[in-house]
């Protein structure tokens, strides 16, 4: 662990602490520490692996006015231990609900910010990478070739096939743009209509999720998880997938009924590319690991250089906005 400090002699400035920072985030963060000059003191704890011990995290944040939250959960224990000093938590992700107790923060008048759309392009690329691995087996052939042999196999072309995008926000649209460049026919369905934006991109809006599953060779999920979308892809929808079709999930596992998906996959006539799971890390005895017709990656879609840069830039901007009495990415 290394502690990098900036402006620490200017004791009249507020203190910003980053108590846990892995290299992919500490490197872009160190490149923009000068943005705090004249505004804040900074302590950045950089280490090769995430620190999860709450006592260690609390000790590092003692006396901070603002904390940048990267790669750990602000449990209620941590939150309380840092009161009344910490007045701002800048969270380096979008879906904040599991990471900070937002109602508690609101009650105490503590600002909570998040970061938005930082990973749209990266997650869309990963969704397409999963489609490629399912249809072309590029990575599997490469692993075999690094041992021996000449493991050629029949592949599928994506161009000319139909992609159905469920959820047409930032990630869904980025996925649509890549697929359109690939010559795929792109359909989308979303809980609110985006027909005109879709049409402008050459994408066709369909009337229902049922129609999307009926008409697609590949269905890619890009919805946010909420009470209304949890389990939205159940047994009936999965039964609509045509033999040979593919389901891609880079969003949240809980959108899909996990037992229903397992049963559909065990029929052997569809395949799936999954980056998200009900329990993460995926247990070693998960039956998904034994299925030949799934491509599985460890919730890695967001984890790119560009996404890390976006997280860091937005966290820094939201802390500076808080210092200046302005608003940026404010949740409460």
Residues forming contacts to its own copies in the complex (CB under 8 A) are 23-24, 121-122, 125-126, 128-130, 132-133, 136-143, 145-160, 174, 177-183, 280-282, 284, 289-290, 295-300, 303-307
Q: How many CA atoms lie within 13 A of 128 on its CB side?
A: 21
49-55: long-range contacts, CB 8 A cutoff, minimum separation 24: 49/22, 50/20, 50/22, 51/1, 51/19, 51/20, 54/78
We find the least distance from the C-beta atom of residue 271 to its own copies, in angstroms, to be 12
Q: Which of 60, 185, 252, 264 is catalytic?
A: 252
Nearer to its own copies, 63 or 183 (CB): 183
Smallest CA-to-CA distance from 50 within 28, 26, 86 is with 26
Nearer to its own copies, 159 or 231 (CB): 159
Nearer to its own copies, 81 or 182 (CB): 182
Is 87 a catalytic site residue? no
We find the least distance from the C-beta atom of residue 200 to its own copies, in angstroms, to be 15
Under a CB-based contact definition with an 8 Å cutoff, are residues 223 and 232 in contact?
yes
Q: Which of 5, 280, 326, 327 is catalytic?
A: 280
**Read out DSSP for 31-95?**
HTGGGGTTT-EEEEEE-SS----HHHHHHHHTT-SEEEE-SS-B-HHHHHHTTTT--EEEESSS-
Nearer to its own copies, 16 or 261 (CB): 261
Is 280 a catalytic site residue? yes
The angle at the Cα of 297, spanning 189 to 113, to the nearest 5 degrees, equals 65
Contacts of 203 (CB under 8 A, 6+ apart): 165, 168, 176, 180, 186, 187, 188
- 50, 184, 220, 239, 267 from 243: Cα distances, Å: 42, 19, 16, 10, 10
We find the least distance from the C-beta atom of residue 324 to its own copies, in angstroms, to be 29
Nearer to its own copies, 85 or 258 (CB): 258
We find the least distance from the C-beta atom of residue 273 to its own copies, in angstroms, to be 8
Is 126 a catalytic site residue? no
- 59, 185, 288, 328 from 285: Cα distances, Å: 37, 38, 9, 43
For residue 74, list its beta bridge partners. Answer: 100
We find the least distance from the C-beta atom of residue 103 to its own copies, in angstroms, to be 31
We find the least distance from the C-beta atom of residue 143 to its own copies, in angstroms, to be 5
Nearer to its own copies, 106 or 140 (CB): 140
* Pairing, β 294-296 against β 41-46: unpaired
Q: What is the dihedral of CA 83, 77, 13, 18, to 10 degrees?
A: -170
State the catalytic residues: 252, 280, 299
């Amino acid at each position: 662990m290394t502690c990098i400090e900036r402006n620490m002699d200017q004791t009249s400035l507020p203190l910003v602490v980053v108590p846990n920072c892995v290299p992919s985030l500490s490197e872009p963060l160190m490149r923009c520490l000068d943005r705090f000059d004249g505004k804040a003191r900074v302590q950045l704890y950089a280490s090769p692996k995430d620190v999860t011990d709450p006592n260690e995290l609390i000790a590092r944040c003692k006396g901070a006015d603002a904390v940048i939250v990267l790669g750990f959960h602000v449990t209620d224990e941590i939150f309380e231990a840092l009161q009344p000093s910490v007045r701002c938590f800048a969270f380096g992700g979008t879906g904040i609900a599991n990471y900070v107790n937002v109602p508690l923060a609101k009650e105490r008048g503590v600002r909570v910010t998040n970061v938005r759309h930082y990973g749209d392009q990266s997650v869309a690329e990963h969704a397409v990478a999963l489609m490629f691995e399912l249809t072309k087996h590029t990575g599997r052939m490469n692993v075999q070739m690094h041992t021996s042999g000449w493991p050629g196999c029949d592949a599928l072309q994506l161009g000319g096939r139909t992609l159905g995008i469920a959820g047409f926000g930032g990630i869904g649209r980025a996925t649509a743009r890549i697929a359109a460049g690939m010559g795929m026919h792109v359909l989308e369905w979303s809980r609110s209509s985006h027909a005109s934006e879709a049409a402008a991109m050459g994408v066709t809006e369909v009337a229902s999720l049922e129609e999307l599953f009926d008409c697609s060779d590949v269905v890619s999920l890009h919805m946010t998880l909420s009470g209304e979308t949890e389990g939205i892809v159940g047994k009936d929808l999965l039964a609509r997938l045509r033999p040979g079709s593919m389901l891609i999930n880079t969003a949240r596992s809980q959108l899909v009924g996990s037992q229903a998906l397992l049963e559909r996959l065990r029929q052997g006539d569809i395949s799936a590319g999954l980056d998200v799971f009900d329990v993460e890390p995926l247990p070693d005895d998960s039956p998904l690991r034994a299925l030949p017709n799934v491509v599985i990656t460890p919730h890695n879609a967001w984890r790119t250089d560009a996404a890390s840069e976006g997280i860091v830039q937005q966290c820094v901007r939201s802390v500076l906005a808080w210092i200046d009495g302005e608003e940026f990415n404010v949740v409460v």
